[in-house]
Amino acid sequence: MHYQLTFLSALLRLKYRYIEGSDIVPFTALLLNASVAFTGFYLISKLYHANRFGSFRFRGFLIGLLTGAIGLFLMINAVQVNDEVRVDLRYLPLVLLAFYGARFPLLIATVIVASTRFLFGLTDQAVVAFIATFIISVGMWWIHRYIHHLLWQSMLLHVWALLITSISILVNLGWNTAYVELVLTFWTVGLVVGTLASLLAMDLEQATRRAKAYKHSAERDHLTGLFNRRMWEARTESLASERRVYNVLALDIDHFKHVNDTYGHPNGDLVLKRFAELLNIETRSHDIVARIGGEEFVILIYDLSPEKVAKVAERIRKRIADEAFTLSDGMTIQISVSIGIAHGKALPVESMSSLADMALYEAKDKGRNRTVVRYVSTQMFAPQ
């Protein structure tokens, strides 16, 4: 950000030029637009990547409103060329949404930016600006869809917006000296700001991707993509205080060492990956599934009765037994899984996990490929 601010400060020290008949300095107004737009870029980017504010659709609605508000602020601080014509960088926040491919927020922001132009007068010039805003957004969505190189995409988004805006100014102002001077200033500032905005947008996107990658690496098992032991402990540490009924399922693939010894560890990894995929398929989105050891897995399931959770476990067991696991050479093998279940309420997860392990050992002793349920009460772990 330092190099961006330094460059903008240097531009501010330039000798400004006035448009004939106007008491507004174009360079100053456009650079003020750029500064506001940069701030908006940061806010929009943070909101776009946030996991708060409810559903993705609601967050998209908020992003659209924020972008539209920024566009309106840029229009308020526009270059007033004459009584009807205003020039600003209202397209900049729309560029960021197009860069992210945020179609729903882009639509909302476009409607807001285009419609609020009429707040400054119900004129022919406002109608032209209204149409131009929609043309800019449609073109930017096309560029995002078909141009995949990030730098080229970002620069083309800005050039497209500058081109359509220049044409709309020509329609409103006509070809004259004032138009040429204004458009030259507009393109100079627009290209400089567009380049910096492109770098900023890519920096923000890459930083967000790196942060997500680090978070995923810290929380997830590298092979299966399930939660790791650390996240299992973090997500279950409050179970004793939640006063909710819950179930811990302990799963262990039967004779998995034989799979590794016979077919090799790479094929064993393929089996583990597919096993994890099946666990995700057979559980609910809010159930917690984790890999805590080589072939050891655990699942946290809230609120189900012993009978219902036993049905879930049996469904998982049968799905695993019926699955043909494909190895690297195309060969398929069958495996089975033993499952131990602890059912209880308001107990530390360590206690429930111990009971689930005991149930798992019982399932192994009884011949494997089966499910055993243990019912837990608070009295079982009360201090003596």
Q: Is 295 a catalytic residue?
A: yes
Report the b/e string of 268-295 with b at 16+ CB within 10 A.
bebbbebbbebbeebbeeebbbbbbeeb
What residues contact 91, with CB distance under 8 A and at least 6 apart? 133, 136, 161, 165
Angle at alpha carbon of residue 210, lines to 208 and 212, rounded to 5°: 70
For residue 301, give the 3-state DSSP assignment: strand
CB atoms within 10 A of CB 347: 19
What residues contact 377, with CB distance under 8 A and at least 6 apart? 344
Q: Give the pair of three-digit tokens for residue 324.
A: 């043909």
Spot the catalytic one: 295, 307, 350, 362. 295
- Best CA proximity match to 296, nearest among 224, 215, 217: 224
Rounded distance, CA 291 to CA 219, Å? 11
- Best CA proximity match to 170, nearest among 183, 154, 157: 183
- Positions marked catalytic: 295
